[in-house]
Each structure stands twice: as structure tokens, then as C-alpha cells.
A and B are shown apart, each in its own frame.
Chain A
Amino acid sequence: MTRKIPVVPCSGIGKSLGAAAREAAYILAEDLRPLDAKVVALALLVLGDDEARREVAGRAAVAIDGCKLECAAKGLTDAGAAEVRKVAVFDVVRRHRGLKPEGVCDLNADGLKLARASADEAARIVDEIVAEDGRA
């Protein structure tokens, strides 16, 4: 059976963009690409959890970061992912001008729209990776 592509959100707790990143990961793995994507916890990766590291080591992975600090992307790189493809929720906001996401535990309507738009971008990346894996 083909292994699912690891997706790591930053889940930052201080800003709504972190919440949107987290929600985007769930939309991707549960709604959009349930056969191809799997959420992996950033903290487990960075702290060296064996199971989490095995999911990403030597593989292409998707980081969904809330802001430009790119905590998830850095964590994936440090954990040995072969390639880290990034979705920056912050850049998605710029492409959907006027959205004012709010809330951390419960995103407002703009936050949910932002999460969905970010998940759509992540789904395109997952499709690319799947296609590349198929050709390999």
C-alpha cells in the first residue's frame, strides 16, 4: 500500500493564522485527500519521536505554516524530510485580500475560508507529489 504524504501544520497558538494552518491540514487529510495525506504532529517530529520521524525521513512532505517564521517547514527539514513543500497561510491571506481571520480555538468565517483556501493549495502540492512518485 502506498504511504500517505506527511503534512505538518504549525498550529501556532498565538495567532489565528496558526489555527488556520491546523484547520487546513485537517481539511486536506480528512476531506480533500484522505487517501494521500496524513497529518503528523510537529512537536513529535522536532523532539525526535521515532514513529513521527519514520513518517518523514527521506520523503517529500508538506509544511503548512501560519507565518513567515516557518516553524513547520524548519521542523520538517531538521527531521530529515527529503523535500519540504510549503504552504504559507500568510501568503494565502495576501491572495485573498480583505479576509480578517480571527479566533484561535474557533475560527471565524474568514478564518475558515482562509483554511479552506490553504487546504486547496496544499491539495495541489499533494497531487504533484503523488504524480511524481507515480512516475518514479
Chain B
Amino acid sequence: MPNLPKRKIGLISCSGEELPEGTVTRRAVRTVLETLRPDDTVTLCLPLFLAGGEGERAFARHYPTIAVDGCPKRCAALATEKYSAKPAASIVVSEIAKEKECAAIGTARRLNEAGLRLAETVAERIAADTEKLLNMKSRGR
């Protein structure tokens, strides 16, 4: 087992290129990594994960992960479970969009204002799940 000094949560986004929700996942995950929870999270690159990325798969075996998917096909969640371990949490952007009654969010290439706001909402949800998972790990010690 590798030397794992600090609890961190792995975020894996589908980055689905065909839907704007895929672009939302990407932006949301980067927002959490760069701004909301920079010390507590790591992004796992899904293409690299799928292609056999050693670091990505090892991390997801030993640390909790949050899969962030654009649509119910849930590629990120499925891939994580298939190649490492079931994600500790799974977020689907289309479900959040429905819940928030989002208007059209733009295109996969360019999100509009509603899409950017949705990405912020998703980022906050990821951050909240991160917090829960870190607290669970604390209590488990």
C-alpha cells in the first residue's frame, strides 16, 4: 500500500463532450479543486483513468471519490467502480438541473449564464459532499 499521509477526496468528472452538462461537470470540479476545497481534493482524469492510469486508479482504490456526471449514463461513476472502487458519492448534473428548474444552459462548447450558475451550484454540492466524507473519515478513526 502506498504511503498516504493526508486524507483527500478524489473528484472524477465525466467531461462528456456531447452535452453541456458534461462541461458543467468539468467546471464544477475545477472550481472545487481551485477555490472551494483546494487542500482536500484531487482531480482524477477520467480519460487517463480509462486508459489505465496507474496513479489515478491507485488513488481511487485507497481514497474516497466523488463521481460527477452530466447525465444518467454516469460514465464517471461506472468507470470508477469498474476500475477501482465504488465512488463514495455520485452527483448527476441533469438531476440537479431538473431540481433547480434550470433554463437552457448553453452548449457543450460554451455555457451561458444559467450554465455557469449551475456549475457553481454543482461545485457547492461537491464541496458539501467532500466535507461530509472528510468528517466521516475523522469520526471513523
Contacts and interface: CB of A to CB of B under 8 A. Distances in A.
A10 B47 contact: yes
Interface residues of B, number: 27
Chain A interface size, under 10 / 10 to 19 / 20 to 34 / 35 or more: 20 to 34
B48 A71 contact: yes
A99 interface: no
A105 B46 CA distance: 15
Interface string B25-68: 01101100000000000010111101101000000000000000
B76 A43 contact: yes
A53 B73 CA distance: 14
Interface stretch (B11-19, B88-96, B98-106, B127-135): B11-19
Given A12-B45, A14-B45, A75-B51, A43 B75 contact: yes
Interface in A50-72: 69-72
Nearest to A49: B73
A40 B75 CA distance: 14
A47 B75 contact: yes
Contacts of B47: 10-12, 18, 42-43, 71-72, 75
B45 A46 contact: no
Given A44-B75, A47-B78, A69-B48, A11 B15 contact: yes
Contacts of B22: 41
30 contacts: A12-B47, A13-B13, A13-B43, A14-B43, A14-B45, A18-B45, A18-B47, A22-B15, A26-B17, A26-B109, A39-B17, A39-B18, A40-B17, A41-B14, A41-B16, A41-B17, A41-B75, A42-B17, A42-B50, A43-B14, A44-B16, A44-B73, A69-B48, A70-B51, A71-B47, A75-B47, A75-B51, A105-B26, A105-B27, A105-B30
